[in-house]
Amino acid sequence: MFARQFRIQATQRRVIEVRHYTKALLRGARHYFRFNEPEVELEDTTSPYIQYPLVTKEQMKKITNDKFKFEFAHKSFAHHSQTTIPTIHSLSDLTVPSELNSLLPRRRPQGSPADTLSIKAGDDAMLVSPTIMAIADGVSGWESKGEHCSSGIWARSMVETLSRLMTEYKLSHTPHHLNKRDIDQVLDDSYLHTSHLMDLQKLRGSSTLILAMLSGEYLKMISIGDSKMYIIRNGEIIKTNEEQMVSDLCPQQIGTQTLTQLPSDMAWVDSIKLQADDLIVMCSDGISDNLYEWELVHYVNEFLNEKKDNLKAVASKLLIKAKEVAWDDYAYTPYNEKVNSLPKKYGNNTSKGGKLDDMSLCIAKVVKN
């Protein structure tokens, strides 16, 4: 009991520290990790947007010491949006101060932008690269609470900040690989920084989170909520994350309303030793609520092994399959099973038909580095 109270008090102190950054810090903000590069000042020193240290090509080379890398492909569909076309950036182009996306950190490790992409589809945000992949599913409903709410902005800022701090933390630990304590620290720091960035814009929002990162010959995994990750070897799922629910149909989430608890206190964290040719499929619940696990594995095997499609084609076809179910009024889905299995106190549950939602999907093949 005393330990729990101490952790909550420590969390609150850290939140207060973050929210009381001084103007001097904002004018030349740097994270806890400092490098010997010259600092790059913001052109407008009154701007509240934070500029972080650049990472050189030489530094990037130091941390490319994993046994494997990802060959990856991705697809997205934006249901909660005025446009169904995802917003895709390389992480070298951020940003324009007049746009809300300026909320996000300016960027990026030199040498990584060409193969690191940030994708925003509706309230979903996804980050894909040869070493780290993440999906944050923004929780819908915030926008109905007022104009100063955006789960999409929260989601994208969270995965971007997490990726940047992972890079910085790897640099500070090289040649050693990150352990669970390190990953917990990066997760918590990313959350506090994202909360601070949202606070600067007086925005509110929240998301689930799933992340996979290479570390030597292991895959480190983080999960909060109900987005899914499947490790497939020889045509079978050998590892998947545990769904975390706050209540029936309400997933665990992190956001501007959860400042009394750090993400590391609620996250599912695990690791698995990889082999060459392992497949990693990550998706938001827009995919997993419409496709059963056995369906997803069947389609991956069919498209990749039988039809010899490349990863990009496999990702596209998986998205099409999920959308076909989502628009089918008579389909029976994993989401229907969840609803229909609820206690009778909720009434007679007769859910049927696909579930329309934002969809984010990434499929990666593990290859030798």
CB-CB contact of 256 with 202 (8 Å)? no
**Which residue is listed with tokens 């095997």?**
301
Whether residue 297 lies inside any domain: the answer is no
Question: What's the token pair of residue 364?
Answer: 């990666």
Whether residue 303 lies inside any domain: the answer is no
Whether residue 269 lies inside any domain: the answer is yes
Whether residue 329 lies inside any domain: the answer is no
Residue 241 has pLDDT above 90, yes or no: yes
Question: What's the token pair of residue 157?
Answer: 């800022």
Beta bridge partners, 281, equal 230, 363
Neighbouring residues of 214: CB distance < 8 A, sequence distance ≥ 6: 66, 68, 69, 70, 131, 132, 220, 274
**Which residue is listed with tokens 């076809």?**
317
DSSP state of 103: G
Whether residue 140 lies inside any domain: the answer is yes
Residue 264 has pLDDT above 70, yes or no: yes
Whether residue 232 lies inside any domain: the answer is yes
User: Between 243 and 346, where is the model more confident?
Assistant: 243
The residue-averaged pLDDT of 211-229 equals 93
Whether residue 74 lies inside any domain: the answer is yes
Residue 295 has pLDDT above 70, yes or no: yes
The residue-averaged pLDDT of 60-74 equals 85
Residue 21 has pLDDT above 50, yes or no: no
Residue 32, pLDDT score:
28
User: Between 6 and 45, where is the model more confident?
Assistant: 6
For residue 56, what pLDDT band results from cuts at 50, 70 and 90?
low
The model's pLDDT over 147-184, given as tens digits with 9 standing for 90+, comes to 678 888 899 889 888 887 888 888 888 888 888 899 99
Q: What does the alpha-carbon distance between residue 92 and residue 110 come to, in Å, rounded to a whole number? A: 8
Residue 124 has pLDDT above 80, yes or no: yes
For residue 102, what pLDDT band results from cuts at 50, 70 and 90?
very low
The model's pLDDT over 323-361, given as tens digits with 9 standing for 90+, comes to 999 999 999 999 999 988 887 766 666 888 999 999 999
Question: What's the token pair of residue 166?
Answer: 């992972």
Query: CA of 243: how far to CAs of 126, 191, 233, 257, 353, in Å?
Result: 19, 20, 21, 20, 22
Mean pLDDT of the chain: 79
Residue 291, pLDDT score:
97
Per the structure, the complete domain to which residue 172 belongs is given by 2-284+362-368
Whether residue 348 lies inside any domain: the answer is no
In 53-87, which positions are buried (b, 16+ CB within 10 angstroms) versus exposed (e)? bbbbeebbeebeebebbbebbbbbbbbbbeeeebb
pTM: 0.80
Lowest mean pLDDT among 32-41, 128-137, 200-209: 32-41
The residue-averaged pLDDT of 42-70 equals 62
Residue 163, pLDDT score:
81
CATH code: domain of residue 89 = 3.60.40
Neighbouring residues of 345: CB distance < 8 A, sequence distance ≥ 6: none
Residue 42 has pLDDT above 90, yes or no: no
Q: How many domains does the chain have?
A: 1
